[in-house]
Amino acid sequence: MEIPPTRADILHPCDVIEDIGIGYGFNNIERVFPENNTVGTYQPINKFTDLVRQELAQAGYVESLTFSLLSLEDNYIRMRLEANLAECVQLSNPKTQEFEIVRTSLLPGLLKCLKENKAENVPQKLFEVSDTVVKCNESDTGAKNVRRIAAMVIDTSSNFEVIHGLLDLIMVKVGADFAKQDYCLAEDDAD
């Protein structure tokens, strides 16, 4: 079948079927349920993530949605980490050096956001709940998504209890019990 050049709206076979449906009349077509009828629903991880986002917003934090692609320098060097090429997924032909790998952490994006909003009043409270990507040999694609959460507070003084309170809030909301030591804070000697 050849399509005349005057019909620029026909790109695929479904466009021909649409024209047939219009000519016959969509209301004249008998309605039937398909044999593979399914019911859509949320993925559990996405539903959980939405609930966490709501709790963080109610706690006074502003959600930030940052780029998933960034540079090696932003992801590692500026975070004072050793560049780990075995962990990160690199783009084979990046258009710019700013977008050469897929993020392995949410922190660089939030730090960039705070940097660009230096002129705003303090305190500033930001959070992000998104996927990061790491290499994984067990996966068909060679990489896997890891859902992470990050929150930051910038203020005139450092108040560890603010971010610690947010952690406690999240853990209480997900059902963890600090008294039973479902989670705990541990000292880290990282610089």
Q: Which pLDDT value is given to residue 107?
A: 93
Strand-pair partners of 148: 130
Name the residue type at position 110. L
In a domain, 168, yes or no: yes
pTM of the predicted model over 0.85: no
> Looking at the domain assignment, is residue 75 inside a domain?
yes
Furthest-apart CA atoms within the chain: distance in Å: 75
Q: Is residue 103 situated within a structural domain? A: yes
3-state secondary structure of 22: helix
Inside any domain, residue 80: yes
- Do the bridges between strand 69-70 and strand 101-102 make them parallel or antiparallel, or are there none, so unpaired? antiparallel
Question: Could you tell me if residue 27 is inside a domain?
Answer: no
Q: How many domains does the chain have?
A: 1
Q: Give 20-64 pLDDT, tens digit per residue.
A: 999 999 999 998 888 887 888 889 999 999 999 999 999 999 999
Q: What CATH number does residue 138 fall under? A: 3.30.930.10
User: What does the pLDDT average to over 131-141?
Assistant: 91
Cα–Cα distance for residue pair 159/19, rounded to 1 Å: 65
Is 70 within the bounds of a domain?
A: yes
* 187 is a domain residue: no
Share of the chain above pLDDT 70, in %: 98
Instruction: Judge whether residue 1 has pLDDT over 80.
Output: no
- Residue 152: partners with Cβ closer than 8 Å, 6 or more residues away: 107, 110, 111, 114, 124, 125, 126, 127, 163
Mean pLDDT (whole number) for 157-172: 88
Q: What is the rounded average pLDDT for all residues in the chain?
A: 88
- Helices and strands counted in the chain (H then E): 5, 5
pLDDT surpasses 60 at 191 = no
Confidence of residue 190 (pLDDT cuts 50, 70, 90): low
What pLDDT score does 70 carry?
A: 92
User: Locate tokens 């896997």: which residue?
Assistant: 144
Share of the chain above pLDDT 90, in %: 40
Instruction: Note whether residue 102 is domain-resident.
Output: yes
Average pLDDT of 106-112? 93
Question: What is the number of other CB atoms lying within 10 angstroms of the CB of residue 175?
Answer: 7
In the predicted structure, residue 118 carries a pLDDT above the cut 90: no
Provide the domain limits for residue 145: 44-173
